[in-house]
Every structure is written in C-alpha cells, then in structure tokens.
Amino acid sequence: MTSLAPAPARPGSDERLAARHPVARLLRRPEMGALVAALAIFTYFSLATNAFLSPAGTATWLYSASLFGIMAVAVAMLMIGGEFDLSAGAMTGTTGLLVGAFTTQYGMNLWFAMLLALLIALAVGAANGILVVKTGIPSFIVTLATFFILQGVNLAGTKLITGQVAIQGMTLVPDFAVGKAIFGSTIPVLGLDLKVSIFWWIGITALASWLLLRTRYGNWIFAIGGQLQSAVQTGVPVRRTRIGLFMGTAAAGWLVGMLSLFDVATVQATTGIGQEFVYIICAVVGGCLLTGGYGSAIGAALGALIYGMILQGIVFAQWDNNWLKAFLGGMLLLAVLVNLSVRRQAGVRA
Amino acid sequence: MSGVNPTVPILEVRGVGKVYGSVIALTDISTSVSAGEVLCVLGDNGAGKSTLLKVLAGVHPHSTGELLLDGEAVRFDGPRHALDAGIATVHQDLAIVPLMPVWRNFFLGAELSAGIGPFSRLKVAEMRAVTSAELSRMGIDLRDVDQPIGTLSGGERQSVAIARAIYFGARVVILDEPTSALGVKQAGVVLRYVAQARDRGLAVVFVTHNPHHAYPVGDRFLVLNRGASLGEFDKTGIRIAELTRLMAGGAELDTLAREIERS
C-alpha cells in the first residue's frame, strides 16, 4: 500500500502553486472587471458633471440602475444555467398592465390582482422552461416567440380594454397607498431620497448571490450551464432546476412591473419592450459567459449600475442621448473579450 | 459489508437484453460481481459494453431478463436510483464540469448542506476538507481543491472522478474506459486506484477494450461481441493472448490474417 501511494500533500502551501498575488487572485473573480469599469465611470461623471454627485442626481441613477439590476440579476442566474430569456422585458409590462386592468377596469381587489398577475407570470415562465426542457429548442427561440406574443397581447389587449395604449387611474384603486409604500415609496438615507426599488435591488442581489454560491441550487445551476450531461449523470434534478430559472426571471419581471406601476401609477403598453437585451448586456458586462456555467449575481448588479450611471450621466453631461447605445455596444464587446480570456485561463481542456 | 450474505453477489444480471427501437443492442447477458472483486467487461467498439454499463448504472432500463441487487430483482428508474443503491459510475466523459472548482465537482449532485428546506446552506469548509482528505487517501496529491477541475491533467481528472465514485458509491463502482485516453504512466496510476478500490472491499466493474489493462487487475472477464456474450472466464482459466484473440473476434482475425498474407 505504502509503495502505491505517493507522499500525501503537505498541509499549507505547495511549492507547485506559483505564489498568486492576492490582487491577481481577486482579479480572477467574475465581477472584478465590472467593478473596475463601474469605478472608472463613476469617477468620470463625478468630475465631468456637477449634477451626477448631487443628492438628487445620485438618487436618479441609482433608481434607474435598480430596475435594470433586479432583472439583470435574474437573467444572470438563467444565463449561468445556460439559457436566455428574451421575454423578460415584455413581462415587466405584462404584469403591470394585468394589475392595472384587473383593478381599474374590473374592480378587482388590488392584492388579489397582484397575486393573480404573479401566478400568470410564473405560468408563462414555466411554459418557457417546459418548452425548452421538453423539446430541446434553444431558449433564444422559445423566449423570442414569448416576447412577441407578450408584446402583441400587451398592446392589443390594452387597446381593447381601455381604448388607449396605457392604463391610468391606479391612484383611485383602494389600498393603492399601501402598495405604494411597499413598491413605490422614497426612503431618506444620509440626505439622499432613495426609491424603495434600490433596496429591493440590493436584497435581490444578495439573495441571488447566496443562492448561487452557498446553496445546492447554485451548484446545480453552475453545473447545468457548464456541462449539462455531467449534471444529468451526477443525478442533479436538471429539469426542475431549469424550469425554476425561467420562473425566476418571470417573477423578477413581476417585481419590476410592480415597482414601476406603483412609482408612476400608470402603465404604458410598451413598457419593457427593447430592454431584454439590456439585461443580457448587464449580465455579460458583469462577467457572465454567454455559453453558461460562469458568472455572478453581484457582477450583473454592477453591470446594471454601470448602465444606470451611463444612462443618467449622459443626460447630466448634456450629450446626445444616442451615444448611450454606442457606449453599450462597446462595453459589451469589451466584456465579451475579457470573459473569453477568463474562460481560456480557467483552462477548459475538456 | 456487514449483514450482507457474502455468497450472494452485490450486482447480478440474468439473461439481460436491451432493445432500442428496432436495434437489438444487447441479448442474453448473464454475469455478476461481488464485494472485493473486479469484473472486466471486454469487447471491441460496438460490442455492447456501453449498453450493458447503462443498464447496470440505471441510465436505461433493461428490456428483457433480470437485474438483481443483493439477490433481489430490481428495476432502476434512473441514475439517482442506482446511486442510492450504492452503484456509482465513472463515465467516459467523467461527468465533471470543467469550469467548477474541484470540490464542487466532487460533491456535485450530493452536496452536504445544513438547515431545513429552502434555507439550507452548503457546508463549504467541510466539503473542501473532505475532498482534500479523500483525494490524498487515494494518493492523489492535488495542489488546490479550489481550482477549476478543467485545469487538471487527464489522469488527475480521472482519479478525482474515481475517488468521487468510491466515496459516494461505497459498494459497486463501474468504470467506463478509464484508461483509454491516457498515456502508459497515467493508465498505470488509474489501475492502481482500481486495485485499491478492490482492496477496500468494493465490487468493481471495469469496462475496457484493452485486455492489457484489464488482465492485471481483473478477477473475471466477460467478453462481448455484437451485443452477445462470447463467454465469461476466470483469470485462472484464460491467458492474456487468448483473451486478446477472443476480443478481436477470434476466427475473424484469423481469416483477416490469411487474407493480408496472401495479398
């Protein structure tokens, strides 16, 4: 026996481990690139404009980042699991419109309407997931279809019910003030009037991070996105987990739908359309691999922070708004290149 | 192994067959494996080795015949069922996720967690420690259990996968071509792990197309050809040359040799 086994590993350090500098080690984390970029953009706009660092300015870009952030975190979890959800943006509109229509047009109880909208969102998410899992059709296509269906239903349905392309009059619904306190209030913190959605964003990011790194579900998500076959072989409940991820983005869509509904008390039928790619960009800028199996929730939240800062920073700097899209494209390309090198470094020899 | 009758094999098949649609992949295979024994399943490509393995591992249910676990007929619903029965399989692709750390791979699908229901959290420190300890117990000296498993060499990855199967499988370990992608030295390392597993009282099913790797560690040899058994042999009853000849199709090879000689 003794001749068979080589000397056991010495405890502590190993001479074959090239002493990795703590900084180098930190830089290998998926969200580091986004953190560096966020700091750079923050510094730039802080110096270049007066409004950016003002209490009102800070509250504005944080609010803007929070709505994208909640979605980006959910989309990042799905992307780590190896899938896309293009219907996530339209879902924020659908849920808001549903609650608006149920309460203002049909006199439904606010809480019941919200619960019903959540259940419908979860059902759509589950339908996305079941279709992907059962048929093997890429989620890109399945959710593209769902996206168009939701977009059409949002517009046509709203017009049919109200004769307009928006639902108004939410403030007259009983209990609206209570809902507003939960989803649309403003909380003063250190002289900043922060929208409550910012705290939802932080909470969701913390929850997602804990799920990904400290629970078995997280392990399964990374495994499913990293190597589906291996996850199947090791007995991971693959179907359940994947369907759950699609339901997760749908639930996040509901939350964001509620946050915007109670903030402004009106819902446009076009709410959320065109934002599905912003979520994906935020997730990728935050370190998610498009191929799955790698990424972080904190990274996605930072990606959304970057987006929020640029979105409002451009306004404060009085640039042409259209520069935003060019910025976004550049950031995405840069992030993908950085991620590619990460994947190479992690040495995917298999 | 207490409480188990030593004369009853842990895993046994009687007249097992498998049909995929109109393709008969396996017919009438009977064999068994007991604790502390290595059963080698030999055969050329397409002989039915993989199909037999999938039946034993619970990946696909058998179409005909009987599968017996501790002498009682069973039918596995899936890999998890077989795993729960103490049958662990090391697949050819190793069932690893290259981008994940070694310790997360080691516990994938069987994570240790504390707490109840949705609030249970992973016991990260314990899993790291167990991974490290289990690997060094098998003589695998790993630099860092936090590195992505994709950064390890082929032999190291194979060894981690076997150590994982032994740690969780406990009773039967099925190895699918564990040496086929490896160099001579690395293959030797893996064969040592096979012997260690046997010495620890595990039943080992070693699937390979290489009789030179099978012969030194095997106790019995089941030779398959075109989905059927060519016979099962004790080590005492067969020499390596015969085993090789049988595997390659015996008579077919003789004909081929004559053909080539003439031309």
Tell me what pLDDT residue B198 has: 87
How far, in Å, are A193, A347, B167 from residue A187 at the CA level? 6, 46, 53
With cut-offs at 50, 70 and 90, classify the pLDDT of residue A280: very high
Binary contact (A346, B122; C-beta < 8 A): no
Q: What is the CATH number of the domain that holds A272?
A: 1.10.3470
Residue A25 touches chain B, beta carbons under 8 Å = no
Tell me what pLDDT residue A20 has: 54
Binary contact (B144, A227; C-beta < 8 A): no
> What predicted TM-score, i.e. pTM, was given to this entire model?
0.82
pLDDT in tens, A86-118: 999 999 999 999 999 999 888 889 999 999 999
Q: What is this model's ipTM?
A: 0.80
Residue A14 has pLDDT above 70, yes or no: no
Chain A residues with beta carbon closer than 8 angstroms to that of B100: 219, 222-223, 226, 293
Residue A3 touches chain B, beta carbons under 8 Å = no
Residues 6+ away with beta carbon under 8 Å from A344 = none
Tell me what pLDDT residue B150 has: 85
> Would A3 be classed as within a structural domain?
no
> Would A78 be classed as within a structural domain?
yes
- Encode chain B (263 residues) as per-residue pLDDT tens digits: 444 455 788 889 898 888 888 888 888 889 999 999 999 998 887 788 888 888 888 888 888 888 998 888 888 887 778 888 888 888 887 888 988 999 999 998 888 888 777 778 888 899 999 998 888 877 777 778 888 888 887 778 888 888 888 887 668 989 988 887 777 777 887 888 888 888 888 899 999 888 888 888 899 999 888 888 888 888 887 888 888 877 776 666 677 777 888 76
Distance from CA of A344 to the nearest CA of B (A): 10
Tokens 């750079």 belong to which residue?
A: A40
Determine the residue among B83, B94, B106, B108 to mutate to test chain A binding: the one whose Cβ has the most chain A Cβ atoms within 10 Å. B108
Residue A8 touches chain B, beta carbons under 8 Å = yes
Positive or negative, the CA dihedral B201, B207, B210, B211 is positive
> Would A123 be classed as within a structural domain?
yes
Interchain CB contacts (distance < 8 Å): A and B: 114
Q: Pick from A4, A223, A235: which is nearest to B97 by CB?
A: A223
> Would A29 be classed as within a structural domain?
no
Q: State how beta strands B203-208 and B172-176 pair.
A: parallel
Binary contact (B95, A234; C-beta < 8 A): yes
Domain boundaries, position A122: 51-338
Cβ A222 vs Cβ B97: under 8 Å: yes
Binary contact (A216, B111; C-beta < 8 A): yes
Provide the phi-psi class of B86: left if phi over 0, else alpha when psi is between -120 and 50, else beta: left
> Would A284 be classed as within a structural domain?
yes
> Would A41 be classed as within a structural domain?
no
How far, in Å, are A109, A251, A293, A308, B54 from residue A115 at the CA level? 10, 11, 33, 29, 45
Binary contact (A234, B110; C-beta < 8 A): yes
Tell me what pLDDT residue A131 has: 95
Tell me what pLDDT residue B5 has: 52
Q: How many domains does chain A have?
A: 1
With cut-offs at 50, 70 and 90, classify the pLDDT of residue A143: very high
Tell me what pLDDT residue B61 has: 85
Q: Pick from B89, B98, B199: which is nearest to A349 by CB?
A: B98
With cut-offs at 50, 70 and 90, classify the pLDDT of residue A22: low
Can you read off the two tokens belonging to residue B28? 């009438």
Residue A217 has pLDDT above 70, yes or no: yes
Q: Pick from A8, A219, A350: which is nearest to B104 by CB?
A: A219
User: What is the CATH architecture of B11-97+169-262?
Assistant: 3-Layer(aba) Sandwich (3.40)
Cβ A67 vs Cβ A275: under 8 Å: no
Tokens 């970057």 belong to which residue?
A: A306
